Amino acid sequence: MADDKNPDPNRPAMPKPPMPAMPAPPAAGGMPKPPTPVAPGMPKPPTPAMPAPPAAGLPKPPAPAVPSAAVPVAPKPAAPAAAQKAPAAAAAIPANPVNPAALRPQPPKSGVSAEPAKADEKGLLLRRRDFVWHGVAGMLTLGAVAFGRFFFPRSLFEPRTSFTIGYASDYGFGVDTKFQSTQRIWVCRNSQGLFVILAVCTHLGCTPDWLATEGLFKCPCHGSVYDTEGKNFAGPAPMPMRRCDVRLDATGRIVVDTLTLYEVGRFNEGGPTGGAYIAV
């Protein structure tokens, strides 16, 4: 039973068909299309002068399931598998490959009977079984891919990543926390201008608390401490908190983009029109 299912006995025989004398042996259809070589009783074996026609009328297993089936069926001399296998196989069998006698020494393992008719039947059965199994494998693969894709929704119901926060004149010096709970940002202003800190601790992503009396941001999760401009100076945080891109729209309102972030070292990339800060 196990031998029946195992396509091995058939496979080594397959690459052999290419005619020895031909300069460009047709890659007679990788593994899954054994018809020409193995089936001695096939109605019309390809003549040596012609490139092997793609095994017509025979069940073709889906290509992706079989690695070596990826070799194109067209008679390409450059096809890697054909280039490797064919010459060796051709040298091994100088006789006419359609002759079953030539095949007899080849399959020493069980599975392919020596008698031509039976070998044909068995080969057909194997091909059919391969076809079914490849179909099952293909369906399972498709299902797994779909299962994975299922977990990535297209639409999200999350706060906008780009929004307006009013005019620069709405904000005085210091830290404004009015957008902390809805947008997870702090609007800050210093002598340089107005900037927006993304309220995400650079350690592991909690929201630090703004302690107005101490003039500090403190993270409740692991104790990172930041100064009024979001620069870390205590705790495990590795770097200052990031800042959001700020721009002025046509009406002079400030547009914040929480997906365009500036890390430390780029905090000066701003100016009158915006960037890491707006000079106001």
Partner 1 sequence: MSETKPKNKFKLPTAAELKEGQIWKSVFRHKLDETPRNRSLAVLSNVFLHLHPAKINRDAVRYNYTWGMGGITFYLFLVLTITGVLLMFYYHPSKGQAYRDIMYLMHDVPFGNFTRNMHRWAAHAMIITTWLHMFRVFLTGSYKPPREFNWNIGVLLLLFTMLLSFTGYLLPDDQLGFWAVTVGTNMARATPVMGSEGPFGPQLGFTAFNDVRFAILGGSIVDANALLRAYIWHCVAIPIIASVLMIVHFWRIRKDGAISGPAPVMIEQDLSGPVAKKA
Site residues for partner 1 per CB under 8 A: 148, 151-153, 156-159, 204-206, 220-221
Q: How far is the CB of 260 from partner 1 (least distance, A)?
A: 12
- Dihedral, CA of residue 220, residue 224, residue 228 and residue 230, to nearest 10: -110
Nearer to partner 1, 200 or 276 (CB): 200
Give the C-alpha separation, 112 to 128, whole Å: 15
> Would you say 27 and 53 are in contact if contact means Cβ atoms under 8 Å apart?
no
Nearer to partner 1, 41 or 220 (CB): 220
Q: How far is the CB of 183 from partner 1 (least distance, A)?
A: 11
Nearer to partner 1, 157 or 191 (CB): 157
Using a 10 angstrom Cβ sphere, with 0-12 exposed, 13-18 middle and 19 or more buried, the burial of residue 22 is middle
Q: How far is the CB of 136 from partner 1 (least distance, A)?
A: 21
Give the C-alpha separation, 229 to 247, whole Å: 19
Q: How far is the CB of 68 from partner 1 (least distance, A)?
A: 23
Q: How far is the CB of 258 from partner 1 (least distance, A)?
A: 10
Give the C-alpha separation, 176 to 178, whole Å: 6
Residues in contact with 216: Cβ distance below 8 Å, sequence separation at least 6, in sequence order: 210, 225, 226, 227, 228
Q: How far is the CB of 200 from partner 1 (least distance, A)?
A: 9
H helix runs in 29-188, sequence order:
35-38, 80-92, 100-103, 116-150, 180-183
Q: How far is the CB of 263 from partner 1 (least distance, A)?
A: 12
Q: How far is the CB of 204 from partner 1 (least distance, A)?
A: 4
3-state helix, strand, coil in the chain (%, to 5): 30, 20, 55
Chain-centroid distance, C-alpha 207? 33
Nearer to partner 1, 196 or 201 (CB): 201
Alpha-carbon distance values, 235 to 185, 205, 239 (Å): 21, 14, 11
Residues in contact with 112: Cβ distance below 8 Å, sequence separation at least 6, in sequence order: 9, 10, 13, 38, 103, 119, 122, 123
In the beta sheet, which residues pair with residue 232? 226
Nearer to partner 1, 16 or 242 (CB): 242
Specify the amino acid at residue 252: G
